[in-house]
Amino acid sequence: MRTAEGTTAPEVPSRPGPASTRRARVVIRRVGPWSVLRFSLLFYFCVMLILWLALMILYGIMGSLGVLAQIARLLESVSLVDEGFRFNGAWIFSRLFVVGLGLVALWSVINLFVAFLYNLVSDVVGGIEVTLAERR
């Protein structure tokens, strides 16, 4: 491209196509145990809450359809429980919440040990290689 003075102007590159995406190879050599623990606690607590609320909704639907009363009558007829048996939702869901909190703590600690184990193995084998690509 020539200008009025006779010099060439630099060409402006057109928008790069999909073949010209920038890529970088990265090796993950270490995982922060503290960040794994924080992420695991929050992630598993959210999963526990979703499951707990889903079970509460299912319990409410089953109660309104009369399924729980039918199960209670069946248990009474088989003589597994005393007469007048009823499901106590508050008792059930308070225990489920406590058990869920225990499982959140357990799986978070397991993830913490996995992070420590990854860091030890990564020192030997060099980590995991990941290729990152930039979108344009």
Q: What is the pLDDT of residues 30-41, one digit of tens each?
A: 999 999 999 999
Q: What band does 23 get if pLDDT is binned at 50, 70 and 90?
A: confident
pTM over 0.75: no
Q: What is the pLDDT of residues 48-92, one digit of tens each?
A: 999 999 999 999 999 999 999 998 888 888 877 777 788 899 999
Task: Summarize the confidence of residues 116-121 as an average pLDDT.
Answer: 95
Kind plus residue range of the DSSP H or E element containing 75:
helix 67-77
The mean pLDDT of the chain is 87
Q: What band does 18 get if pLDDT is binned at 50, 70 and 90?
A: low
In angstroms, the Cα distances linking 32 to 22, 28, 41, 78, 106 are 27, 11, 14, 55, 19
| Residue 115: other Cβ atoms inside 10 A | 20
43: left (phi over 0), alpha (psi -120 to 50) or beta: alpha
Q: What per-residue confidence (pLDDT) applies to 136?
A: 72
Task: Summarize the confidence of residues 91-105 as an average pLDDT.
Answer: 97
Task: Summarize the confidence of residues 13-25 as an average pLDDT.
Answer: 69
| Residue 79: other Cβ atoms inside 10 A | 8
128 within 8 A of 72, measured Cβ to Cβ: no
Q: What per-residue confidence (pLDDT) applies to 5?
A: 56
